Copies of this chain bind each other. A is one copy, B any other.
Amino acid sequence: MSKRPTEASAPPPRYRQVADALRAAIDDGRLADNEALPSERELTEQHQVSRDTIRKAVRLLEDHGLVYSDHGRGTFVAPALVRRMSRYIDGFSEDTRQRGGLPTQRILNLEFSPATMAIAQLLQLESGHPLTRVRRVRLTNGVPVGLHDAYFPLPPGVKLELQEVERARSLYQLLMERAGFAPVEAVENLFAASADAEEARLLGVPEGAPLLVCERITLSDRREPIEYCLMKYVSSYRYSARITQSSRLA
């Protein structure tokens, strides 16, 4: 038992509630781009919480690029250009929806194969360790935009069936339920490459067409690599990022 697996559970902390309230005010336009938020001391009274709690809420919004604070001036709503930028794990479906597209997928292939030296090293396994490999075409509004090629180990005794992968709305969600897959962080490398014959055929582009390649290593809560994924996107696909000052540690 211990904790309910579904529904209800605990209420979010106060600072999250405050953050949600502010986000709602931004989303529905009660606070315009670059408009100042109420001061922290005002928010303290409005929400009847301590200033520190208010600051945590604001910091959360700031981390997500929704507001920015300037010492001595105030806290302001980030312009939409910045607010739209965000990139989180399992981005494709989310990203696509956010841009107003309908994300779908077509499973090409589900196979079980031993790890090559290269992949074994990345996943910190011995070469030859059994892996599951899923190849998919990602589509936006029915048009192919990317190829995903994912490799991951499954716990002993767990086997995926093609049917369930095809039925699942999200591969990650399926892996979470079936294998305790719990990604919390990932590192990515991006570069450009040319489409080979097969890639060209699957994506509906000429052979040699430029592709955006994104290699991803997904990490568990213990920061152990649990998946390697190679993604290739046609040139119309956009990968968005927001970068900030280092406010350097050194």
Convert A171-192 into 0s and 1s, putting 1 for each residue whose CB lies closer than 8 angstroms to a CB of B: 0000000000001111111111
A208 (CB) vs chain B CBs: closest residue = B208
- The residues of B that contact A190 with a CB separation of less than 8 Å are 190, 212, 238-241
Please provide the 3 A-B residue pairs with the shortest distance between their CB atoms, ordered closest to farther: A210-B210, A192-B210, A88-B246
A55 to B157, CA, bound (A): 41
- Interface stretch, picked from A109-117, A148-156, A159-167, A214-222, is A214-222
- Please classify the interface of chain A as helix (H, G, I), strand (E, B), loop, or mixed, using the class held by over half of its residues: mixed
B88 touches A243 (CB 8 A): yes
A70 to chain B, nearest CB (A): 6
B210 touches A245 (CB 8 A): no
Q: Which of B60, B78, B236, B249 contacts A223 (CB 8 A)?
A: B78
A223 touches B192 (CB 8 A): no
Number of A interface residues in the complex (CB < 8 A):
64
A76 touches B185 (CB 8 A): no
A236 touches B186 (CB 8 A): no
Known: A81-B217, A221-B70. A185 touches B242 (CB 8 A): yes
Convert A220-250 into 0s and 1s, putting 1 for each residue whose CB lies closer than 8 angstroms to a CB of B: 0111010000000111111111111110111
A240 (CB) vs chain B CBs: closest residue = B189
B87 touches A243 (CB 8 A): yes
A185 (CB) vs chain B CBs: closest residue = B244
A47 to chain B, nearest CB (A): 16
A145 to chain B, nearest CB (A): 11
- The residues of B that contact A79 with a CB separation of less than 8 Å are 219, 223
